[in-house]
Amino acid sequence: MGRLHDTLDDNLIDWIARQHLFFVATAPSEGGHVNLSPKGYDTFRVFDRSSVGYLDLTGSGVETIAHLRDNGRMTIMFCAFEGPPRILRLYGLGDVIEPIHDEFSRLAAHFPPTPGARAVIRLTLERISTSCGYAVPQMTFADDRDTLVEWAERKGSAGLAEYHEEKNVLSIDGLPGLAGSAGQRAAPSPS
């Protein structure tokens, strides 16, 4: 039922492109809280057969970014809610590319412009595995929610910067979050 893949093949790349939802899991090096976040919109891309990434949108926390700065470990999971059952897990080392980094513009060009984008999260793949997904329920996709985009548009650039300063400087475990935030500007980029 389970299978390992050396790289992402055309079949997996095509299947990923049809998915509407993925999950990101990270954890701090010592103690702390494991983070598991659902992600949607048109925010995921395969950069090449051994690296992927997603456009990270402003949220109430900054756990994934903080954990990647701490140890780089990340798992991304897709599961089929429509069509034949399948689970895909992508394991590897992630890095955070914020707008203050030289590489941001090049990577962000892979995605449609989305209000509230605060970073591109890139994952260099170390392990690619598929499994059956037989117990995952079948569900039909209705539509994306507009709520986050509308919220970011109402905030505007200045409001988002203020929100990042208030909510995205530290993780819930006190680890450094956005490097572009006050007090974090001098933090070295992991990329």
pLDDT tens-place string over residues 151-172: 999 999 999 999 999 999 999 9
| Enclosing domain of residue 79 | 3-167
Whole-angstrom distance, CA of residue 2 vs CA of residue 10:
18
In a domain? residue 172: no
Residue 143 pLDDT > 60: yes
Tokens representing residue 162 in the block:
């203020």
pLDDT of residue 187: 37
Residue 1 binned pLDDT confidence (cut-offs 50, 70, 90)? low
pLDDT of residue 58: 97
Q: How many domains is the chain built from?
A: 1
Whole-angstrom distance, CA of residue 147 vs CA of residue 44:
19
pLDDT of residue 190: 38
Asked if 39 and 23 count as a contact pair (C-beta separation under 8 A), the reply is yes
In a domain? residue 187: no
Q: What does DSSP say about strands 3-5 and 87-97: parallel, antiparallel, or unpaired?
A: unpaired
In a domain? residue 158: yes
Q: What is the CATH number of the domain that holds 70?
A: 2.30.110.10
In a domain? residue 27: yes
Residue 180 binned pLDDT confidence (cut-offs 50, 70, 90)? confident
Q: How many residues does the chain have?
A: 191
In a domain? residue 39: yes
For 80-137, write each residue's pLDDT tens digit: 999 999 999 999 999 999 999 999 999 999 999 999 999 999 999 999 999 999 999 9
Whole-angstrom distance, CA of residue 138 vs CA of residue 128:
23
In a domain? residue 105: yes
3-state helix, strand, coil in the chain (%, to 5): 20, 30, 45
Task: Kindly state the average pLDDT of the residues 13-24.
Answer: 98
Residue 21 pLDDT > 50: yes
Residue 185 binned pLDDT confidence (cut-offs 50, 70, 90)? very low
Tokens representing residue 58 in the block:
């402003």
Residue 23 pLDDT > 80: yes
Asked if 120 and 104 count as a contact pair (C-beta separation under 8 A), the reply is yes
Residue 183 binned pLDDT confidence (cut-offs 50, 70, 90)? very low
Residue 30 pLDDT > 60: yes
